[in-house]
Amino acid sequence: MTNVISVSDSGNISRITHPSSIGREPRIGSRFAVSLIIGSLWVLLHGCTLAPDAVTGVAPTIVIVPPAVPLAVERDASPQGPGDAREADADVEDDQHRSTVSKVEGAWGLAAQRMALPHHLDQLRVRQEFGWFERNPEYFARTSARASRYLPFILDEVEKRGIPGEIALLPIVESAYDPFAYSHGRAMGLWQFIPGTARRFGLQMNWWYDGRRDIVASTHAALDYLEYLHGLFDGDWMLALAAYNSGEGTVRNAQRRQQRAGKPDDFWSLALPAETRAYVPRLLAVSHYVRTHDDLPTLPLTARFRAIELQDQTDLAVISRLADVPLSQLYRLNPGLNRWATPNGGYTLLVPPEVSPELSSLLQGLADGERMRLKRHKIRYGESLSVIAAQYGTSVDALRRVNQVRNSTIRTGEHLLVPTASQHPSDYALSAANRHADATAYRHEKMGTPVTYRVESGDSLWLIAQRHGVAVRALASWNGLAPTDVLRVGKTINIWGGSQGAVAAPVVAHGHERATRRVNYRVRRGESLAVIAGKFNLSVSDIRGWNGAVATSRYIHPGQQLTLFVDVTKTRRE
């Protein structure tokens, strides 16, 4: 089964469970059936060759909705004969279904009106996917709550570009409209960008901010990418969508194989990775479901936010107070924010539409000390900018900017102005301190009382881990730190001792909308637990603790399924 954690507006946690048998069907060779009927009439029944799963260039997504019925063959055995007749029937079938457009009002109805792609209900895979949605109508009820924030904006952007309305529904397949969705391939956000593709299409990622989760920036980047792929594949949206999922090289190579064999090179004929063979039909099924159902929740037609341009870094608590908007709502509208403040330099802030138009001028009129609280810090012997930044929960760049320091040289006895949060860490729903507090409370509940250790001069996480017989990454995770963080003397460290401490309990959102996501990871060829741990900033001992099958085993094998709990704001960006 595939489990996906979803967090409601109130902070409650729900688990979306889908059957996962689909998309992992066995290899099927070309099948030919011969029947002799009155005069030796031969009927060629279609089949297809399915390639085994491959490691693709674009990370597969975690939030998917597979159908419940296992797939036997990609196409139906049809008495209509070879391809042209089948495609003609498909056109007729789609024309019939286009006449049954949903009368639902709001954004779902608008999406249905703007659809332009054939939904290929002649394909067995599409009908299977559609059947899953038919049997699980509650899925759309849950997804609609998140989609109501973002779908109207995405629909507007899709219309501006003249793109089929089906593309606005792609985040259902990618992330279930959860901007904090995170996949085992380090893909993130509504549109599930991996770091390399994100940079290629202009998304920024730094300590304060991750553009893959930014609603506006990631939508623009995703549509840019899709338009590029649409042009690359000569206007074929099926191939463009397949390439968005598996990488343009994967689709190109599959086409070349077909062309060399003198066979059709359309999407339905290609031997693509199993996930991609399910991905495109899933979008078509989602689209057809929206198009033909009148019982969907009514969503707003206009975006539930407007943009304000900020020129300088600003504490979110200050914005919350001036805008009279809860911090949690600001984070939901601006999920790209990693910390307690907007990033350095310019930033486009999204606020509810009812916020006073005067907010922009109020923010522009703030002095430096009003935008962010500045604390005076006397430099001690042995301190560096990185040590001081870590102590106050800020960045080295912020220290340099505020103090006009060009390099990293500072002198003992001098003073620095340090930007600090104006409210308690628990007030910032996605701050590192808040995530750590939730995680610690959860571990206290599940693992008992930890041993506490007070950091002394010369201590490091590695030394403390060695003394107590635990993994460095586990120790860092328990205390909301990175393994390479410098420890402040006097800081209290929580340690769940010995082997029990290394078996960390899963950290799931607990009371606030947080950035920890459960990832169902499929081991790839050549990977070890250490390699997988490095990808997600985890420890091997954490992975063993979450997966009983590898708790005592020395080896893992390709295709093995592992459960991981990943903080999406603390993963490698390279």
The pLDDT of residue 102 is 60
Span 362-369, average pLDDT:
87
Confidence of residue 469 (pLDDT cuts 50, 70, 90): confident
Cα 110 to Cα 162, 174, 378, 387, distances in angstroms: 14, 21, 59, 53
3-class state of residue 376 by DSSP:
strand
The pLDDT of residue 104 is 73
Q: Which residue has the higher pLDDT, 519 or 312?
A: 312
Question: Is residue 556 located within the same domain as residue 444?
Answer: no
Q: What percentage of residues in the chain have a pLDDT greater than 70? A: 73
Nearest-angstrom CA–CA distance, 379 and 392: 13
CATH code for the domain in which residue 523 is found: 3.10.350.10
Q: What angle do CA 18, 299, 174 make, to 5 degrees?
A: 35
DSSP tag of 392: H
Question: Is residue 61 located within the same domain as residue 34?
Answer: yes
Answer whether residue 242 is part of any domain: yes
Answer whether residue 351 is part of any domain: no
The pLDDT of residue 210 is 92
Report the run of H or E that residue 276 belongs to, with start and end.
helix 274-292
Residue 404 CB-density burial (10 A; 0-12 exposed, 13-18 middle, 19+ buried): exposed
Span 468-481, average pLDDT:
77
End-to-end Cα, the chain, rounded Å: 31
Question: Is residue 561 located within the same domain as residue 493?
Answer: no
Span 515-540, average pLDDT:
82
pLDDT digits (tens, 9 = 90+) for 400-438: 888 888 887 888 998 998 888 888 777 886 654 564 566
According to DSSP, the residues that pair with 418 across neighbouring strands are 375
3-class state of residue 414 by DSSP:
coil
Confidence of residue 82 (pLDDT cuts 50, 70, 90): very low
Span 76-87, average pLDDT:
32
Question: Is residue 521 located within the same domain as residue 495?
Answer: no
Cα 298 to Cα 167, 280, 343, distances in angstroms: 19, 26, 35
377-403: burial string, b at 16+ Cβ within 10 Å, e else: bebeeebebebbbbbbbbbbbbbbbbb
Residue with tokens 């003609």: 88
Answer whether residue 194 is part of any domain: yes
Answer whether residue 324 is part of any domain: no
Taking all residues of the chain, what is their mean pLDDT, rounded to a whole number?
A: 77
Residue with tokens 């659809």: 115
pLDDT at 497 over 50: yes
Report the run of H or E that residue 2 belongs to, with start and end.
strand 2-7
Confidence of residue 516 (pLDDT cuts 50, 70, 90): low
Cα 358 to Cα 224, 347, 364, 516, distances in angstroms: 33, 18, 10, 35
> How many domains does the chain divide into?
3
Question: Is residue 123 located within the same domain as residue 99?
Answer: yes
Tokens of 9: 């507006």
The pLDDT of residue 15 is 37
Domain stops at, among 273, 292, 311? 292
- Helix/strand/coil (H, E, C) string of 199-214? HHCCCCECCCEEHHHC
Question: Is residue 437 located within the same domain as residue 496?
Answer: yes
The pLDDT of residue 419 is 86
Containing structural domain, residue 545? 516-567
Confidence of residue 73 (pLDDT cuts 50, 70, 90): very low
Domain stops at, among 292, 326, 350? 292
Span 348-371, average pLDDT:
91
According to DSSP, the residues that pair with 564 across neighbouring strands are 519
Range with top average pLDDT, 301-305, 499-503, 524-528: 301-305
CATH code for the domain in which residue 126 is found: 1.10.530.10
pLDDT at 182 over 50: yes
Nearest-angstrom CA–CA distance, 546 and 550: 9
Answer whether residue 399 is part of any domain: no
pLDDT at 491 over 50: yes
Q: Cβ(152)–Cβ(270) under 8 Å?
A: no
The pLDDT of residue 437 is 64
Range with top average pLDDT, 240-254, 385-399, 527-541: 240-254
3-class state of residue 561 by DSSP:
strand
Range with top average pLDDT, 163-177, 408-422, 490-504: 163-177
Answer whether residue 301 is part of any domain: no
Nearest-angstrom CA–CA distance, 413 and 391: 17
pLDDT digits (tens, 9 = 90+) for 109-160: 999 999 999 999 999 999 999 999 999 999 988 899 999 999 999 999 999 9
The pLDDT of residue 351 is 96
Nearest-angstrom CA–CA distance, 90 and 59: 31
The pLDDT of residue 42 is 31
**Residues with Cβ < 8 Å from 141, sequence gap 6 or more?**
297
Q: What angle do CA 438, 370, 383 make, to 5 degrees?
A: 65
Q: Which residue has the higher pLDDT, 498 or 50?
A: 498
Residues belonging to the active site: 174
Nearest-angstrom CA–CA distance, 528 and 544: 12
The pLDDT of residue 100 is 59
The separation between CA 322 and the C-alpha centre of its own chain, rounded to angstroms, equals 31
Q: What are the two backbone dihedrals, phi and then psi, of residue 133, each rounded to the nearest 5 degrees? A: -65, -40
Q: Look up the pTM and report it.
A: 0.64
Domain stops at, among 452, 468, 502? 502
Q: Cβ(523)–Cβ(553) under 8 Å?
A: no
The pLDDT of residue 242 is 98
pLDDT digits (tens, 9 = 90+) for 284-301: 999 999 999 988 999 999
Tokens of 539: 């420890």
Confidence of residue 105 (pLDDT cuts 50, 70, 90): confident
Answer whether residue 314 is part of any domain: no
pLDDT digits (tens, 9 = 90+) for 302-313: 999 999 999 889
CA-based torsion, 108, 112, 118, 120: positive or negative:
positive
Question: Is residue 135 located within the same domain as residue 261?
Answer: yes
pLDDT at 12 over 60: no
Answer whether residue 308 is part of any domain: no
CB neighbourhood size of 79 (10 A) = 8
The pLDDT of residue 321 is 94
The separation between CA 155 and the C-alpha centre of its own chain, rounded to angstroms, equals 20
The pLDDT of residue 56 is 30
The pLDDT of residue 111 is 95
Confidence of residue 28 (pLDDT cuts 50, 70, 90): very low
Question: Is residue 263 located within the same domain as residue 174?
Answer: yes
Question: Is residue 439 located within the same domain as residue 485?
Answer: yes
Q: What type of residue is 235? A: G
Question: Is residue 119 located within the same domain as residue 83?
Answer: yes
Question: Is residue 488 located within the same domain as residue 555?
Answer: no
Question: Is residue 259 located within the same domain as residue 143?
Answer: yes
